[in-house]
């Protein structure tokens, strides 16, 4: 089957009643992405002529999720079943291709290799339809495969229509199929909504094809987990757990130690280098990149963080969209909001918050400090309780702290302000004016030369600052 002779249709119009949710089922998340995004990503490497998604329930939101991934959408309104969804997709598909690969939007663990193998079986067998099936321990809820002879299928029977003896069949329909379009379209014309939901089931097209003597093949998935659907919250969390397990296993294969991996959440795009150690209850999210020999201690959440080699993140840190260079040590209990760069060997201690701040090589802010919109040079020491007062209620202002600066405890730096290289600011200072390089600012000097009284007018009140 060449790239030019098949399209992919992802069925994503359903509501997902069994999730009991105000959000469309395919937009629920597992393994760090929406269900539909996983399915689209599994389809992308196959080079189909087009990828379509049939949308309906919360169509705009589902469109917004898939269109940026290069998927075209077809509107199914109202939703009268999976067979009806394919009838609706027919016009978009047109006559340009011979085959269609159909997938449900709620089975996100599927891998491209499995889809490729299914396409291959379909082509080699010259089949009218080829069904990806799986043999699972608890088949309850899935359509079951009625085999005719050998690899040939007679029908798919939905859970609600199973006879007593069919209930023991544990080969299930994954809802992933290849169809020859010249066979599918007439077969869809012959199915009836003979079920409790009065829907047109795509599964009923299988019996139609089989009865008219067409070849319907079944291919059993090597890894049954790949076809698991997410119809209920329990299935959703199980699928999430499997994604996390896959990712943790891949990282461990790449030389990362993970303790209690079942307690660790790692998104699919996260990378980590050899000999990095991840302790229990850590979350590594988004595009987080971790170098070699790092230690990420318990309770830490990193999202879109970039760590060089030999970084230690002590317990219970929250770090977003920040860069941390080699040998730096953060936490415990530090919060890095987006936009920070902590340079090599720097130390950010407990109850320290950073926002859009650069901390120079070897500098330290060890305790109880807020540094926002600040640039701090090399080997500076920021004492306990130092606050950059970067916000006057309307605008944000920068603070610049030079190399080797010592800021004593409990100092307030009223931005915009600059503290020159080598300056020494005494404990308890309130700095409102620039401090020259190498100056020694005692509390007395602060009161005499720097202290000011400022009055600022807001709309309804005047604020008196005694500085
Ligand atoms: C379906 C199959 C079942 C199979 C199971 C595998 C049918 C009738 N049954 O059941 O044999 O074992 O998948 O997971 O097909 N959808 C539409 N339009 C609609 C209805 C559904 O686009 O009118 C979409 C849904 O959004 C979903 C997919 O089709 O992504 C499958 O629908 P779902 O309701 O999940 O079917 P299942 O009951 O899981
Ligand atoms: Mg389903």
Which has the closest alpha carbon to 121: 218, 47, 7, 10? 218
Q: Does the Cβ of 133 fall within 6 Å of ligand 1?
A: no
Q: Does the Cβ of 58 fall within 6 Å of ligand 1?
A: no
List per-residue pLDDT tens for the chain, 467 residues long. 455 799 999 999 999 999 999 999 999 999 999 999 999 999 999 999 999 999 999 999 999 999 999 999 999 999 999 999 999 999 999 998 999 999 999 999 999 999 999 999 999 999 999 999 999 999 999 999 999 988 899 999 999 999 999 999 999 999 999 999 999 999 999 999 999 899 999 999 999 999 999 999 999 999 999 999 999 999 999 999 999 999 999 999 999 999 999 999 999 999 999 999 999 999 999 999 999 999 999 999 999 999 999 999 999 999 999 999 999 999 999 999 999 999 999 999 999 999 999 999 999 999 999 999 999 999 999 999 999 999 999 999 999 999 999 999 999 999 999 999 999 999 999 999 999 999 887 554 454 334 333 334 344 433 434 44
Distance (Å) from CA 73 to ligand 2 centroid: 19
367 classed as catalytic: yes
Q: What is the pTM of this model?
A: 0.88
Distance (Å) from CA 434 to ligand 1 centroid: 67
Mutate-to-test residue for ligand 1 from 106, 145, 176, highest number of ligand atoms within 8 A of CB: 106
């Amino acid at each position: 089957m060449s790239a030019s002779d098949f399209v992919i249709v992802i069925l994503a119009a359903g509501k997902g009643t069994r999730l009991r949710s105000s959000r469309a089922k395919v937009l629920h998340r597992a393994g760090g992405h929406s269900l539909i995004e996983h399915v689209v990503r599994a389809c992308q490497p196959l080079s189909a002529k087009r990828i379509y998604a049939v949308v309906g329930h919360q169509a705009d939101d589902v469109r917004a999720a898939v269109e940026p991934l290069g998927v075209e959408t077809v509107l199914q309104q109202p939703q009268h079943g999976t067979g009806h969804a394919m009838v609706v997709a027919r016009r978009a598909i047109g006559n340009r291709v011979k085959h269609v690969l159909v997938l449900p939007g709620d089975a996100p663990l599927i891998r491209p290799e499995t889809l490729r193998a299914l396409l291959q079986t379909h082509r080699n067998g010259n089949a009218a339809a080829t069904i990806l099936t799986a043999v699972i321990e608890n088949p309850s809820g899935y359509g079951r495969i009625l085999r005719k002879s050998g690899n040939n299928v007679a029908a798919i029977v939905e859970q609600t229509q199973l006879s007593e003896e069919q209930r023991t069949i544990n080969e299930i329909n994954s809802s992933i199929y290849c169809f020859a379009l010249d066979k599918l379209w007439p077969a869809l014309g012959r199915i009836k909504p003979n079920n409790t939901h009065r829907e047109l089931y795509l599964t009923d097209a299988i019996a139609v094809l089989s009865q008219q003597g067409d070849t319907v093949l079944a291919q059993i998935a090597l890894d049954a987990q790949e076809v698991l659907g997410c119809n209920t919250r329990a299935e959703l969390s199980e699928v999430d757990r499997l994604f996390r397990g896959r990712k943790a296993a891949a990282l461990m294969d790449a030389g990362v130690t993970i303790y209690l991996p079942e307690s660790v959440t790692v998104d699919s795009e996260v990378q980590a280098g050899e000999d990095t150690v991840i302790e229990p209850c850590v979350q590594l999210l988004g595009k987080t990149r971790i170098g070699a020999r790092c230690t990420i201690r318990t309770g830490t959440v990193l999202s879109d963080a970039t760590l060089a080699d030999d970084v230690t993140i002590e317990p219970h840190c929250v770090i977003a969209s920040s860069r941390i260079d080699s040998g730096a040590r953060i936490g415990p209990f530090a919060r890095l909001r987006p936009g920070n760069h902590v340079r090599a060997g720097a130390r950010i201690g407990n109850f320290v918050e950073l926002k859009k701040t650069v901390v120079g090589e070897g500098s330290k802010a060890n305790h109880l400090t807020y540094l926002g919109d600040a640039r701090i040079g090399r080997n500076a020491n920021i004492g306990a309780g130092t606050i950059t007062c970067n916000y006057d209620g309307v605008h944000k202002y920068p603070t610049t702290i030079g190399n080797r600066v010592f800021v004593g405890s409990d100092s307030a730096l009223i931005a915009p302000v600059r503290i020159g290289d080598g300056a020494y600011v005494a404990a308890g200072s309130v700095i409102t004016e620039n401090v020259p390089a190498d100056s020694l600012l005692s509390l007395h000097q602060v009161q005499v030369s720097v202290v000011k009284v400022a009055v600022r007018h807001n709309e309804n009140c005047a604020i008196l600052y005694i500085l």
